[in-house]
A and B are shown apart, each in its own frame.
Chain A
């Protein structure tokens, strides 16, 4: 059968490794019989689906969302110029950039620190809810959503590195000095937890759930 025919005939005629009694190694992709514990080739522990995906995704996601709140309320940067202390939050820093006229950089900061994290929370929640309850989005859309979420999440770390380099650089004593505020740690942890949440999700669940819904519809 040609690939075009495959796509046209739809996924109902497909067979997964799990249905064929196989498990593909999460480390190296080698196939092994279901029930085998360790991969022969790369010695990774074998799981047909990532274990406890739903619980892990929710746990990391909730932790990430909770930390995102103080990350926005507390200052990210504490700037001292000629004895004056100024505290800047994530949003405040971006507004300051706009005032400088650095529109593009302000856009990068807002995109990396606000749009990506918030979109990621929503995307991960939608993906994991979709597995259980079905989704209005097609499997392909959800797959794309997952891939984009996984790829782009780490770029939120930009703001943490901005704080790191500003702190290292701007230490001119009385004239100007910059130090990190409490939000930096909260934000970094929020990004890390959200990355772990996305990594705990198993995209195979999207396709499994479609098969299950289809099977249920038939009986």
Chain B
């Protein structure tokens, strides 16, 4: 359980006001809530538990097992599935003797005509480029740790990039969009789903898995050169 620093709050305040030294030397023993800036004693919760900020209930530290392994597993699977998703057929449509295969690339190219062309770049980024970039950044940052080596040069920047890009990685939203589109089309024609569709469906599960297993705080601590 996370406890406030109230016991020594007055002394702490005095330190910062006058000497500034003791608190600066003990920064490792403190943690600030990233959501409300409350300063707290750093207490690592028991395995499998999440500690929350007592004021705003935002998660602080989750002590999850094999964070590195799980995050790496998610990143490697994302990279492999995305490669498969690009090369294999996605969906095909057949009606009155005519048929049409659409790959993920065709979906990306859907806006390439006329003045909506920039949207092509955005769609490509949201559903393929950013998910892959995140996977590569995570592998680059975490693989050396997994192998017992010190973090690679720029590992911290790389992990920070992966976290900053998270909201813009939309593979799981894309597959829901596809499901909606299929409902509209199934009345018009026969639709068959290719391996790429299932690869994207699996990507959606990996996103959920990553959200469940990744603890930023833990990874940042492992990436810290001072702790090595």
Contacts and interface: CB of A to CB of B under 8 A. Distances in A.
Interface of A: 1-3, 6-7, 9, 11, 13-22, 24, 26-33, 40-44, 48, 93, 96-97, 100, 102, 105, 108-109, 139-140, 143, 150, 154-155, 157-173, 175-176, 179-180, 182, 184-185, 188, 192, 195, 199, 203-204, 206-208
Given A155-B173, A164-B107, A28 B220 contact: yes
Interface of B: 1-7, 9, 12-13, 16, 20, 23-24, 27, 30-32, 34-39, 54-58, 91, 93, 95-96, 98, 100, 102-103, 106-111, 113, 115-116, 118-119, 122-123, 126-127, 156-157, 159-160, 163-164, 167-168, 170, 173-174, 176-178, 180-181, 183-185, 187-189, 191, 216-217, 220, 223-226
A143 B55 CA distance: 11
Nearest to B176: A158
B228 to A, nearest CB: 12
28 contacts: A2-B3, A6-B3, A15-B9, A16-B38, A17-B38, A19-B39, A21-B20, A22-B30, A29-B34, A31-B31, A41-B156, A157-B170, A158-B176, A158-B180, A161-B174, A164-B108, A164-B177, A165-B178, A167-B107, A168-B102, A169-B91, A169-B100, A169-B102, A169-B181, A175-B98, A179-B113, A180-B110, A185-B118
B116 A15 contact: no
B177 A24 contact: no
A184 B119 contact: yes
Mostly helix, strand, loop or mixed at chain B's interface? Answer: helix
A184 B117 CA distance: 11
A170 B185 contact: yes
Nearest to A77: B184
A11 B157 CA distance: 34
B183 A24 contact: no
A192 B149 CA distance: 39
B91 A154 contact: no
Given A1-B7, A43-B157, A165 B107 contact: yes
Contacts of A161: 107, 123, 127, 170, 173-174, 176-178, 181
Contacts of B24: 33
B95 to A, nearest CB: 6
B102 to A, nearest CB: 4
Contact of A175 (B13, B57, B96, B113): B96
A97 B115 contact: no
